[in-house]
Chain A
Amino acid sequence: MSHSEFILETRALTKAFGGLVANSSVSIGFREHQAHAIIGPNGAGKSTFVNLLTGHLPPSAGEVLFKGASIGGLPAHKVTRLGIGRSYQKTNIFPSFTCFENCRLAAQSRLATSMRFLRPASSYKAVSEQAEAALASAGLAGRSGRVAGTMSYGEQRQLEIAMVLATAPEVLVLDEPLAGMGREESEHMVTLLRDLARRYTLILIEHDMDAVFAIADVLSVMVNGTLLESGPVERVRASKAVQDAYLGDGAEAY
């Protein structure tokens, strides 16, 4: 298998929690600059897959390859430093910090080390600029000074994305960025994600089918911890097996 084909790839990735096999021999390749969505009903193992991909969980068996090098079993803080940024399904920010400080800290994580004790963090210019740029990219330019916990839910979800962007990733792994959002907030977020899909390799876990079809180039379907189907969106959408298992008769299913 050539290394150049996929930027990120899993091979027979398996995770068992005791007797429960959450991911069973999942092999998916993610191509550079593609938007790749992973869908599946609740309990299909999508979140486990994301946690395996980003080092939040060690795999029981199988491999995760980033640019051809095995990264399975690396802790989360090392995986993100390689350039794989992730957002979380449940809003996971620093609510008592300002919006800017949330992103500044994210950008600061790209310093060779933060074991620096004397110079004020605010005087690291490149870090601050990176944070401002990430806020602007996520549509939060005007929210710099707001305490994150006091913003609307939708804005907190945007901040979640801004924090990932501030870490200057190559691959964005977004775990249900639309979860819990209202219609208007969702539309706003879909626009943002389409924009990001042009600039990054995007891996999107999502329930919202309209959003998936609007954003993704490639679609993988997971059911019961296994990969059911993977391929270009239109082909997977038309697949009989997928329709039976998940999509229903063209209608949205959750």
Chain B
Amino acid sequence: MITHIPKRLAILLLVLLVVLALFPLWGKLVFAAKFTFLMQKLTGIMILAILAMSLDLLVGVAGLVSLGHAAFFGLGGYMLALMSPQYDAANLWLVLPAGLAGVAAAALVVGFLSIRTSGIYFIMVTLAFGQMGFYFFNDSKLAGGSDGAYIYVKPTVEAFGTTLVNLDDKLSFFYVTLGVLVGVYALLRVLLASPFGRVISAIGVNEYRVQGLGFNPMAYKLVAFTIAGTIAGLAGFLAATQYGFVNPAMLGWHQSGHVLVMVILGGMGTLFGPVLGAFVLELAHFAFESLTEHWLLPMGVMVIAIVLLLPKGLAGLLLKWTDRKEDGP
């Protein structure tokens, strides 16, 4: 877990954020033909970045490697699909809190049953719960089974009878997602600096000692698991809103593994690393795919190269660069 971000790195991250935030302006000029597609792509990546940050809280901070994290992502999406009237818009102020409460409850139960295990057993138990979630929606008639379900009308965001944001508008939704991304990052930073966050970080380093000091690690791990699951649910809620569609694959282990790769590539325990990991992985995927139909080969080479050359991920590299410069005379 890193607590201190060097100034130069903070500036670099801020610049990247501004470049991203201004994409609707410059992207139109640079990628005229593909602009609409890229807007959608970037919004999707930001949603995955939120999911990756939430997983980092478990994997990188608390040392809990979950291979079932996507189950909460998918559940967040399904909550919206299930609560949306078929031909009418749902009210965001109702479905969002209700949806997140549902995901939080599920994360609390799954967490309660899985945090007692650790290491490889925790990976297996979370994998099993994730797959249970997948088959629950895949095999039931609840929300279209394996075909998934559509959300025909997006939720409305109103206050006093006026619409605040139209989630159907691609540009508005881009900025809503960006706002959530920044908000979740800030929230997690505050959380990690708090007494709770310090205990969670310490559990990731030496859980046995944490208990010896007088903290009950189980309680803290359970709360962390629930928070991470709820944020994953928020990301899933956004994904379902963006695509207007949910399917069981959102919950599956494939998706969980995909996000885990983002966290590892980006740099565990750094929060911003997994965000970078999401962008690099998804944009590389997109670039290789448009060059060759055998895109999996260069993707694999890239992932292996990053893991071999940068054991602390992209964030580790950036921290090394920016810290060295600061140490200078």
Q: Residues of A with Cβ closer than 8 Å to B? A: 54, 56, 75-78, 80-81, 86, 88, 92-97, 101, 104-106, 108-111, 114-122, 124, 163, 167
Task: Tell whether, in the assembled complex, residue A167 and residue B223 are in contact, meaning their CB atoms are under 8 Å apart.
Answer: no
Q: Is the CB of B195 within 8 A of A114?
A: yes
Besides A92-B208, A92-B212, A108-B195, 17 other A-B contacts (C-beta < 8 A): A54-B212, A56-B212, A77-B214, A77-B216, A77-B217, A81-B214, A92-B206, A97-B202, A101-B198, A105-B210, A109-B213, A114-B215, A115-B196, A118-B190, A119-B194, A121-B198, A122-B193
Contacts of A78 on B, CB cut-off 8 Å? 214
28 A-B residue pairs with Cβ-Cβ distance under 8 Å, sorted by A, are A75-B216, A77-B212, A77-B217, A80-B212, A88-B209, A93-B206, A93-B209, A94-B202, A94-B205, A95-B206, A104-B198, A105-B198, A108-B198, A109-B213, A110-B214, A114-B196, A114-B198, A115-B219, A115-B220, A116-B195, A117-B190, A117-B197, A120-B190, A120-B193, A121-B195, A122-B193, A124-B195, A167-B213
Cβ of B191 under 8 Å from chain A: yes
- List chain B residues, Cβ under 8 A from A54: 212
* Cα-based distance from A106 to B199 in the complex (angstroms): 10
Of A95, A111, A116, which is in contact with the most chain B CB atoms at under 10 Å from its CB?
A: A116
A197-B288 Cα distance, complex, nearest whole Å: 68
Min distance, Cβ A185 to any Cβ of chain B, angstroms: 22
Q: How many interface contacts (CB-CB < 8 Å) are there between A and B?
A: 89
Closest chain A CB from B60 CB (angstroms): 12
Contact of B191 among A80, A95, A105, A117 (CB under 8 A): A117
Is B211 interfacial (CB 8 A cutoff)?
yes
Looking at the complex, which one of B190, B213, B217 makes contact with A80 (CB distance below 8 Å)? B213
Residues of B within 8 A of A (CB): 1, 190-191, 193-199, 202, 205-206, 208-217, 219-220, 223
Does the CB pair B193–A121 fall under 8 Å? Answer: yes
Q: Is the CB of B194 within 8 A of A121?
A: yes
Question: Closest Cβ of chain A: how far from B283's Cβ, in Å?
Answer: 31
State the Cβ distance, A107 to closest chain B Cβ, in Å: 9
B327 CB to closest chain A CB, in angstroms? 14
Tell me the smallest distance from the CB of A179 to a CB of chain B, in Å: 17
Contact B198 A86 (CB under 8 A): no
- Pair A92/B209 contact, Cβ less than 8 Å: yes
- Cβ of A108: which chain B residues have Cβ within 8 Å of it? 195, 198-199
CB distance from A121 to the nearest CB of B (A): 5
Given A111-B195, A121-B193, A124-B195, check contact A95 B214 (CB 8 Å).
no
- Asked if B197 and A109 sit within 8 Å, CB to CB, the answer is no
A116 with B196: in contact, given A76-B211, A81-B214, A167-B214 (CB under 8 Å)? yes
A77 CB contacts on chain B under 8 angstroms: 211-217
Q: A80-B212, A167-B213 are in contact. Are A115 and B223 (CB under 8 A)?
A: yes
Q: Which residue of B lies closest to A54 (CB)?
A: B212
Closest to B209 in A: A92
Q: Are A117 and B213 in contact (CB under 8 A)?
A: no
Bound Cα distance from A121 to B202, whole angstroms? 13
Q: Are A109 and B215 in contact (CB under 8 A)?
A: yes
Complex CA distance for A105 and B194, rounded to whole angstroms: 11
Which chain A positions have C-beta within 8 A of B211? Answer: 75-77
What's the Cα separation between A221 and B217 when bound, in Å?
A: 35
Chain B residue nearest to A88 (CB atoms) is B212
B192 smallest CB distance to A (angstroms): 9
Across-interface contacts of B223 in A (CB, < 8 A): 115
Chain B: CB-nearest residue to A114: B195
Give the distance in Å from the alpha carbon of A121 to the alpha carbon of B194 in the complex. Answer: 5
The complex places the Cα of A158 from the Cα of B213 at a distance, in Å, of: 16
Residues of A within 8 A of B219 (CB): 115
Which residues on the B side are within 8 Å of A95 (C-beta)? 205-206
Interface centre among B208, B213, B216, B223 (most CB of A within 10 A): B213
